[in-house]
Amino acid sequence: MELGYSDSVRENVEILDVVSASEEVGILDDVINQGESEVVHLKVGMKFDTVDEIYELYRKYAQQKGFPIKKRSSKKDNGVLRYICFACCREGKHKTDSETPLQPEPTSKFGCKAKLSARLDLDEKWRISVLVLDHNHETSPSKSRFWRCNKKISNHVKKKLLLNDKAGIRMHKHYYTLVVEAGGYENVTFEEKDCRNLVEKERHLKLGEGDAMAIQSYFSKMQKHNTGFFFNIDLDKEGRLKNIFWADGRCREAYKEFGEVITFDTTYLTNKYDMPFAPFVGVNHHGQSTLFGC
């Protein structure tokens, strides 16, 4: 008997199969906010083995109470970390350059004094020395998952995102499957935008399929028509583009005549590959810019 799935439901079912085919165990542990339901209590004198343990406990406490945290300051003695302070992200004062008092710039800083300070004792244990829990602003536990300190994508989920991206699965479909498996958006520790940023970062400086061959083919064709054309392409073992240099015959002749001064600018970035492009430019006898190479 064949089930009468609609096209949209069938598509979602197929995507769920792709996501969970290679490794079904453990995906929920990586997506759902594990352990956040346990009530966290803080007090002066609590001891920890590492700074990371302090940060993680304070982060969970802040998530339950509804405020973001950040590392405020730290001190070292002979290269050894001895003091650390975490504070509410609303601490400090907002500095504005606006000259119009009727149109002030938006700010998230309200001079909040909430903080947690810890010191390394002689027994090599970290102890909470200062703890301020009161805030001078409203807190919102329902918005905690949107703050940067609470966003995290595990290595397992990262692997799934990249594999599904290579398979051509749309990001909104893949993200929806993670939400379904986690039991709702409120149980996912990241947003769809974070997934897209991760994939885009992974694509950084990576050539698309056939692009490297297309560039080499084009430059070889140019070399046949212009014997003075020179190019060099540098790729790594994974086929990622490291460097390209090219200069035609006219550029090389111009360099022989006007190569005393060379300028180049690497601030330009292409939209597709986000790669710095540096044209080598000089000045000819007419005071005009002339290209030496790229």
Question: Do 218 and 167 share a structural domain?
Answer: no
Claim to verify: residue 112 and residue 221 sit in the same structural domain: no
**Is the four-CA dihedral 160, 165, 171, 173 of positive or negative sign?**
negative
Please indicate, yes or no, whether residues 254 and 175 belong to a single structural domain of this protein.
Answer: no
Same domain, 191 and 227: no
More confident residue, 96 or 34: 96
Q: Is this structure's pTM higher than 0.95? A: no
Separation between Cα atoms, residue 200 and residue 196, nearest integer Å: 6
- pLDDT value for 96: 62
pLDDT per residue as tens digits for the range 229-252: 999 888 777 767 778 899 998 999
Q: Does residue 6 have a pLDDT over 50?
A: no
184-193, 201-210, 276-285 — most confident range: 276-285
* 226 and 116 within one domain: no
pLDDT at 13 over 70: no
pLDDT of residue 268: 62
| Chain segment 124-179, per-residue pLDDT in tens | 899 999 999 888 888 888 777 777 777 878 788 888 888 888 788 888 888 888 88
292: pLDDT strictly greater than 90: yes
Among 145, 177, 202, the domain-final residue is: 202
User: Is residue 12 predicted with pLDDT exceeding 50?
Assistant: no
Q: How far is it, in rounded angstroms, from Cα 181 to Cα 154?
A: 15
Q: Does the pLDDT at position 3 exceed 60? A: no
Q: Tell me what pLDDT residue 63 has.
A: 85
Which one of 174, 202, 230 terminates a domain? 202
Instruction: Kindly state the average pLDDT of the residues 53-80.
Output: 88
Q: What is the pLDDT of residue 82?
A: 92
Which has more pLDDT, 25 or 285?
285
DSSP symbols for the chain: ------HHHHHHHHHHHHHHHS--TTHHHHHB-TTTTSPP---TT-EESSHHHHHHHHHHHHHHHT--EEEEEEEEETTEEEEEEEEETT-S--------TTSPPP--------EEEEEE-TTS-EEEEEEE---SS---GGGGGGSGGG----HHHHHHHHHHHHTT--HHHHHHHHHHHHTSGGGBSS-HHHHHHHHHHHTTTBPPTTHHHHHHHHHHHHHHH-TT-EEEEEE-TTSBEEEEEEE-HHHHHHHHHHTTS-EE----B-TTT--B---EEEE-TTS-EEEEE-
State percent of the chain over pLDDT 90.
18
* pLDDT confidence of residue 95: 67
52 and 190 fall within a common domain: yes
Q: Is 154 exposed, middle or buried (0-12, 13-18, 19+ CB in 10 A)?
A: middle
* pLDDT for residue 255: 92
The C-alpha torsion from 185 through 190 and 196 to 197, rounded to 10°, is: 160
Q: Is the separation of the CB atoms in 142 and 152 below 8 Å?
A: no
Least confident of 107-121, 129-143, 263-277, 279-293: 263-277
Q: Are residues 166 and 222 in the same domain?
A: no
In a domain, 19, yes or no: yes
The count of domains in the chain is 2
> Are 44 and 178 in the same domain?
yes
Which structural domain, as residue segments, surrounds residue 62? 7-202
